[in-house]
């Protein structure tokens, strides 16, 4: 996480230095607790170049267990709605089987609903490397076109893979949304988040 990106995101319970609430970070801070002042995180100032949220969605077979993929879709709908309200750009990359592809953006979402997302299915292996590589390409292109833009990378996965991708150079902030469940866990999301200097949250921490 670069020093420049950290300067935009600070904890300020009084809200005196913040211009608006950074909801993803606020919800991650409160976890399952009732929202309190100390949980609030603020964006100090809107980046002059705007914001891009790049979402990378794991559509592999393991995400079909325990209704993980439907939960991920529901969270994506909420986050796309927030991006639209903030006039931020968004992009969606889906990976599963043997490949990854861009399903949306980057663009400011004009509309986003369950009917659009329903055809996104799941199955096959977990080509995390392909998903991150495709995200890195998209973020690099965005950085060339809009160098002042702040770029967020969100990775929705259960981490059931042996892939060890490297952090994309053009991601200012990275959040792993860890969908791994069950008594036996690989802990890959936690390991990658630690290696990348990224944040790791559970899906329920973003529900608010």
pLDDT at 141 over 80: yes
Supply the pLDDT for residue 125.
Answer: 72
User: Which CATH architecture best describes the domain 48-206?
Assistant: 3-Layer(aba) Sandwich (3.40)
pLDDT at 114 over 80: no
Distance, CA of 67 to CA of 142 (rounded, Å): 33
| Cα Rg of the chain, angstroms | 16
Peptide bond into 118 cis (omega under 30): no
Spacing of C-alpha 100 from chain mean position: 16
10 Å Cβ neighbour count for 104?
17
pLDDT tens digit sequence for 15-72: 333 345 666 667 766 666 777 666 666 655 555 678 999 999 999 888 888 788 889 9
Entry pTM: 0.76
Average pLDDT over residues 196-201: 92
Distance, CA of 70 to CA of 177 (rounded, Å): 14
Supply the pLDDT for residue 66.
Answer: 79
Distance, CA of 151 to CA of 144 (rounded, Å): 12
With CA atoms as reference, report the closest residue to 88 among 106, 63, 115, 111: 106
Q: How many residues does the chain have?
A: 208
Backbone angles phi, psi at 2, to 5 degrees: -80, 155
Is residue 131 within 8 Å of 28, Cβ to Cβ?
Answer: no
């Amino acid at each position: 996480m670069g020093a420049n990106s950290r300067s935009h995101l600070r904890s300020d319970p009084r809200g005196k230095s913040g211009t608006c609430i950074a909801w993803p970070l606020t919800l991650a801070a409160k976890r399952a607790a009732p929202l309190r002042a100390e949980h609030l995180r603020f964006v100090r100032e809107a980046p002059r170049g705007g914001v891009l949220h790049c979402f990378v969605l794991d559509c592999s077979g393991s995400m079909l267990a325990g209704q993980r993929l439907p939960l991920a879709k529901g969270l994506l709908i909420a986050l796309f709605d927030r991006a639209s309200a903030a006039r931020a750009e968004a992009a969606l990359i889906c990976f599963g089987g043997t490949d990854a592809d861009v399903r949306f953006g980057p663009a400011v979402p004009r509309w986003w609903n369950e009917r659009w997302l329903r055809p996104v299915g799941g199955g096959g292996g977990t080509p995390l490397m392909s998903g991150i590589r495709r995200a890195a390409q998209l973020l690099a292109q965005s950085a060339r076109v809009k160098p002042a833009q702040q770029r967020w990378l969100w990775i929705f996965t259960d981490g059931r893979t042996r892939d060890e991708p490297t952090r994309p150079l053009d991601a200012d902030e990275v959040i792993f949304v860890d969908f791994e469940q069950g008594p036996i866990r690989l802990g890959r999301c936690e390991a990658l988040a630690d290696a990348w200097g990224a944040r790791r949250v559970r899906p329920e921490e973003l529900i608010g």
